[in-house]
Structure 1
Amino acid sequence: MTAKQQARRPGTPGAFSRWMQHRANARMNRKVRRGRGTFMGMDVLILNTVGSRSGQRRETPVAWFADGADDRLIVASGGGSRNPDWFDNLMAHPEQAAIELPGRDPVPVTPHHLDGAERERAWRLIATAQPRIAKYQGKSDREYPVVRLSPR
């Protein structure tokens, strides 16, 4: 193992994996902006955040689930032993968060990290809508954070 590989945080993808993810995200963002916001049977929005360390603008396609008329639920699964970067960015700078729904302009949102009974209710809604997410959660060592995004 090289020194560069050893310096990477555990659970952090390598350069090729990150490159592929950036390309896939950019393609999905283009689709959402053209008004086509679904992937594998799930609705997708673009989450606009600011990097927790870099301060740079970030745009991440994320599956969402309706929670009432205007609120959206998102799950920080990330597929690894740690939360995805977008979750850390969102929590570090919640006042700068916005979402883009398919074919619409960005809307500022307030994120609410759910816990306790509120998270359980939201998780049941999500798992009912997409059982594969519950199956995915079952294979993880951590509880996936659930965030409610409310328009400001």
Structure 2
Amino acid sequence: MSEEFNSDDLVADPNALDEMNRKVVEEFRANGGVVGGMFAGSDLVLLTTVGAKSGQPRISPLVYFDINGRILIAGSFGGAPKAPAWVHNMRAQPRVRVEIGTESYDAEARELPRDERDALYPRVVEKAPQFGEYQAKTERVIPLFELVRV
């Protein structure tokens, strides 16, 4: 994926976000989990949630963080005032599908309690400093979720 994007634009335009996600998913699956563009060099997971209202599968490409053998994802949405849709979906139905590289498995998403989140978020920022910027942009606490294989 060679296109760059502006996270504020994607938050404002759900169709642009869906199109970007579709292209990333396609590239991820075609290249065994490796993508270019803004995600080049990042650890990427394809997270499939069930739509809270629709009941339909929703695929979101997300940066993940392996911290002490735990797979963590952050509901940053680029520091937008609201959480991304996948957070709402996962809170309603925590059973998810995870794709990392060429491996795919079912997982249970566990939202970290505030004290655990606060202890681990600095580790996320060490690995990807933009997540510190995202937290600074918003008044909400960006949630962390652990994806636990079932």
**Counterpart-to-counterpart distance in 2, 1:55 and 1:81:** 25
What's 1:115 paired with? 113
8 A contact 2:11–2:77 mirrored in 1: no
What's 2:25 paired with? 29
SS at match of 2:22: helix
What's 1:57 paired with? 57
Matches within 5 A, 1:63-82: 63-69=63-69, 71-79=70-78, 80-82=80-82
8 A contact 1:110–1:150 mirrored in 2: yes
- 1:40–1:136 distance in 2 versus 1, CA, 3 Å: farther
* TM-score normalised to structure 2 length: 0.83
Tell me the CA shift for residue 68 of structure 1: 2.7
Tell me the CA shift for residue 150 of structure 1: 1.0
What's 1:139 paired with? 137
The amino acid across from 1:101 in the alignment is I
The amino acid across from 1:29 in the alignment is V
State the aligned residue count: 136
8 A contact 1:37–1:43 mirrored in 2: no
- 1:94–1:145 distance in 2 versus 1, CA, 3 Å: same
8 A contact 1:32–1:101 mirrored in 2: no
Structure 1 runs, 4 residues or longer, greater than 2 Å off: none
1:86 pairs with 2:86: yes
Tell me the CA shift for residue 131 of structure 1: 1.1
| Consecutive unaligned residues in structure 1, runs of 5 or more | 1-11
Q: Could you say which structure has the larger radius of gyration?
A: 1
* TM-score normalised to structure 1 length: 0.82
